[in-house]
Amino acid sequence: MPDAGAQEERIDENHRRDFTPETTTLWDYPYQSYGEKKKGDNRFSGVTPAFVVRHLIWRHTEPGDVVVDCMAGSGTTIDVAREENRRVIGYDIAAIRSDIIQNDARSLPLEDECVDLHFVDSPYSDNIHYSNHPDCIGKIPCEDERFFVELEKVVKEIHRTLKKGGILGWLIADQYRKRKFTPVGFRLFEVLARHFEPVDIVSVRIHNQRTNNELWQRRALKYNFYLRGFKYLLIMRKVE
């Protein structure tokens, strides 16, 4: 069993890590958070890497700009944006914090073209339990075409509320389940490209997932499949 004191020391060290801007399309963040204050909750299923949000905000916004996360989860985007002096709104279909507004991302209570940066870290299937809400998109398997139909409703709302020239960053992963591969990232990119201009695609290495152990590595070799090693960060722009 890992030493509890050593584990807590690693967590504290994580929160003191400085932010380093990325210059390539390969991002590797071994920790979920950074700095003196926690961003989000790393116990939350599918918690967002705070470094990813920070980098998008640093690259594509200015202090005072409006940042929106319509699937805010444990509130990582809110915590990062506030620390960077951005105005931020977080929505979630099953809000778990008082500063997250309960709302379905398929219908945003926002005026047209009022957001400078949208960030989304959405379900990429029904792979984990995201919430108990019956309308949660994370209850639909990505093998079902309805999954992408519902995501496109979110995409259209983001397009409506994003300013011309504004940026959308969407974090998503593929799925391999029951010996079937589903290229969720490619499928979502096709949806996004119908509404936005592509800026770039970033590969974000996955850490600390339940399959990151020797047992799953042995299974991957024995049964000849690949474990998920990265997520896509799809960066798009609303054309002026």
Q: Assign residue 152 the CATH number of its domain.
A: 3.40.50.150
Comparing CA positions, the residue from 123, 124, 37, 107 lying closest to residue 78 is: 37
Say whether pLDDT at 184 is over 80: yes
Structural domain boundaries enclosing 66? 4-237
Say whether pLDDT at 210 is over 80: no
User: What is the residue type of 40?
Assistant: G
Lowest mean pLDDT among 81-90, 166-175, 213-222: 213-222
Task: Say what the pLDDT of residue 36 is.
Answer: 80
Question: What is the CB neighbour count within 10 angstroms for residue 67?
Answer: 26
Contact call for residues 169 and 221 (beta carbons, < 8 A)? no
Measure the CA–CA gap between 135 and 125, rounded to whole angstroms. 14
Contact call for residues 22 and 42 (beta carbons, < 8 A)? no
Structural domain tally of the chain? Answer: 1
